[in-house]
Chain A
Amino acid sequence: MGEKVARRDWIKVAGAGIVGLAIGAGATYGLMPPRVERIEVKPTPKPIPKEPLRLGVVTFLSGIPAPSGIAGLRAAEIWVDWTNAAGGILGRKVELLVEDESEGVEKSVERFKKLTVEKGCEAIFGTESTSTGLAFGKLAEEMQQLWLSWDGTTQQGLEETIPNKKFSFPSIYNEAEAVAGAVLVAKYFPNVKTVAGINDDYSYGRNCWEAFMSVLKTLRPEVVPVKELWPKLGESDFTSHIAALDAAKPDLIMSSFWAGHATIFLKQAAAVGLFKKYKGAMVTAGGVLPTLKKEFVPEGVLIGCNSWYFEHPLGWPLRDKFVKEYLRRYGEYPVYECDHAFFTFQAYKAAVEKAYALKGEWPTKEEIANQLRGIKVPSLSGYRGYREDNYQICNFFLGLSKHDPRYDFVTLDPLDMVPFELMCHPPEMKFHDWVKTWKS
């Protein structure tokens, strides 16, 4: 650690050197080398750097997850505009440097290093995919660079590989929405006996299905799975899957589709009236809520919106202000990734300010990380924070679909807010051990 001099310090050292040389030459002390170290040991705190604060974003700008990635990026841009208008972070203007995550891990890793080493970014935000999340978690620790994830980190992978996270701040557990969904299924559809699942054939889909079933079985021991379907991510024809689901005749169909495939699935399901026959739990479909039109999504389907719902009877000024701004800029309703993105920046700003208050000078990355642990800040969906083990804390919003004449897509009513503690196991326990404790 000690030998590693941050880029900014180098600039400073170099700058001091040049100034020193100039003075030296001017006073004809030409041959004396500039004594840079002396400047460093002064007891007075260093002033806050003048140059803009560079923050890197790596997220999906194209491909299947782009709707989430771009939504997060837009929220980040709005945050930067608001923050800069209010004077920046400790007076420093914030500058976003954006890179594309859609070209796979190999290139994303390269982007991370570019932002860190070449561009001198103070922290990296973003990531949607679990594979990039895994790679970035490790990279952040190795490079001693702050990384605040928005989404897509599998806790298994990160817990195994980076037990003591110092610089990496993953998002909330993968299976949170599936747990919340299972709890609400038990509440709203108490008579469900048989369940069929259709989930993406990769870690997120498998985690969700497993967690959903184990929680539901704990709450309703009589429930049995009758069908598990695993289409590959990127599939756009679910007609055969729907026929198979129909043939299995379950009481409830569960799915963790979260992007365009949620829309496609619901649409193709409508062609055979699938969700009129059977109950439905689309635990993550709220990620593309504005595309779930009333024409093909019936009322009464359980839809999960992750950490964010665009309106709420209780009201929250920051959200309303944001929704208005987002609609004005893009003509679309924001989705949950906006909240995750907005939160990471809010948390970063608050951590810098807290660390500054303690130290009196611009904090190091390590000091910022220390302040991030356990922090609580206002985000778009309300107050949310980081747990002591670097995981995000937030509540989730789920509800039953409703046809509201004010919107052309389905809205949620009743809307439930599921608290973090109900969805995420404590750090010292494994998920399955934790679920077992529910039984008592």
Chain B
Amino acid sequence: MFTLDAIIGILFNGIFYGSILFLIAAGLQLIFGVQRILNLACGSFYALGVYTGVTFIEFFMGIGLPHIYFIIALIIAGLILGFIGPIIERGILKPIYAREMEFQLLATFALVLIFEDVIRFVWGIYPKISKVSPVIYGELRIGATILPIYYIFVIVISLTIALFMGFMIKKTKLGKTLRAISDNREMSAALGVNVNKFYLLSFTIGTIMGTIGGSLMAPVTAAWLGLGVEIIVYAFAVVVIGGLGSMIGAFIGAMIVGVFKGLAIAIYPELEVLIIYAVVIAILIMKPSGLFGRIEE
């Protein structure tokens, strides 16, 4: 039915989208894993990332930065945006850590509402689009299929972050501390861990993952209103499939969503959205904790 190069193209694009989804979902997972807060605003961080990325590209094109450095500019854009992390964590979340999780969820819901208007206020209502196209880094040809090198960069960056996160959580002292906090906050605090510091750290990293995911998409997509509210549905699908709080789950879940979506589009397009929900329902019924999650009562 499909030629080999077409199949490669379909899988490649699925993995590309999965890589972006992973970054958003990983931010969600990290924050949940450490702080036990389900961050509804993770989609808004992504949207902010796209908008800022577009603005950055425009700016650097204006001052004549060679195209080759754009990807660095975009990563910097994502990192700089991380500054909203500490503001939100210190200003909004810290006062309510002791509250029921309903309040924490609601606080992030409020952020979704606020960010939507902030974006509209700052960037206006028209879709914002960078003139830089993803082909700036050239392309790889496999038969008739063209794979833009930029997409490969994004996949590599995402994969690097995934490996780094995995390494950090499993092997380093920081990771051990984070896991300890995740398992038992009071105990960690009693043992002299500065829980507040680690909360700040994990929330900032979680924010940056979302904003970098967004800024990396800036050359690929347009920034438009509703971006944040829409992407979060996919991010939730990822974490339900992978299991809430699990980093490896986020990775596998993102790949499942990306590749399944790509395959459905190629084979039976009517199933495009439903296939993801079919997986979600199957997981919910058979293993509601997700593939790699654990659920505490």
Contact = CB atoms under 8 A, between A and B. Distances in A.
Direct interface between A and B, CB < 8 A: yes
Interface of A: 61-64, 66-67, 70, 201, 227-232, 234-237, 239-244, 246-247, 249, 259-261, 263-264, 267-268, 270-273, 288, 290-291, 293, 295-296, 332, 408
Contacts, number: 143
A72 B167 CA distance: 53
A268 B14 contact: no
Given A236-B221, A288-B126, A242 B13 contact: yes
5 contacts: A64-B225, A66-B120, A246-B145, A260-B224, A267-B220
A234 B9 contact: no
B269 interface: yes
Interface stretch (B31-39, B260-268, B279-287): B260-268
Contact of A230 (B9, B135, B148, B269): B269
Range class of the B interface residue count: 35 or more
A270 to B, nearest CB: 5
B219 to A, nearest CB: 8
Contacts of B69: none
Contact of B146 (A201, A237, A244, A273): A273
Contacts of B9: 243, 246-247, 272
B129 A291 contact: yes
A236 to B, nearest CB: 5
Contacts of A236: 221-222, 224, 227, 230-231
Given A62-B120, A236-B231, A247-B266, A263 B220 contact: no
A247 B269 CA distance: 13
B220 A271 contact: yes
B161 interface: no
Contacts of A249: 144
B133 A234 contact: no
A227 B269 contact: yes
Nearest to B3: A247
Given A236-B222, A291-B222, A271 B266 contact: no
B89 to A, nearest CB: 27
B148 A272 contact: yes
The 5 closest A-B pairs by CB, nearest first: A260-B127, A260-B224, A247-B6, A240-B262, A239-B13
Contacts of B100: none
B226 A234 contact: yes
Contacts of B129: 263, 267, 291, 293
Contact of A264 (B222, B231, B266, B269): B222
Interface in B49-103: none
Given A240-B262, A243-B12, A295 B269 contact: no
Contact of A67 (B3, B125, B269, B273): B125
A258 to B, nearest CB: 12
Given A240-B262, A271-B148, A234 B230 contact: yes
Nearest to B234: A237
Contacts of A228: 269
A229 B134 contact: no
Given A62-B125, A67-B125, A288-B126, A244 B10 contact: yes
B203 interface: no
B184 to A, nearest CB: 39
A273 B145 CA distance: 10
A295 B222 contact: no
A261 B120 CA distance: 17
Contacts of A201: 272-273
Nearest to B229: A234
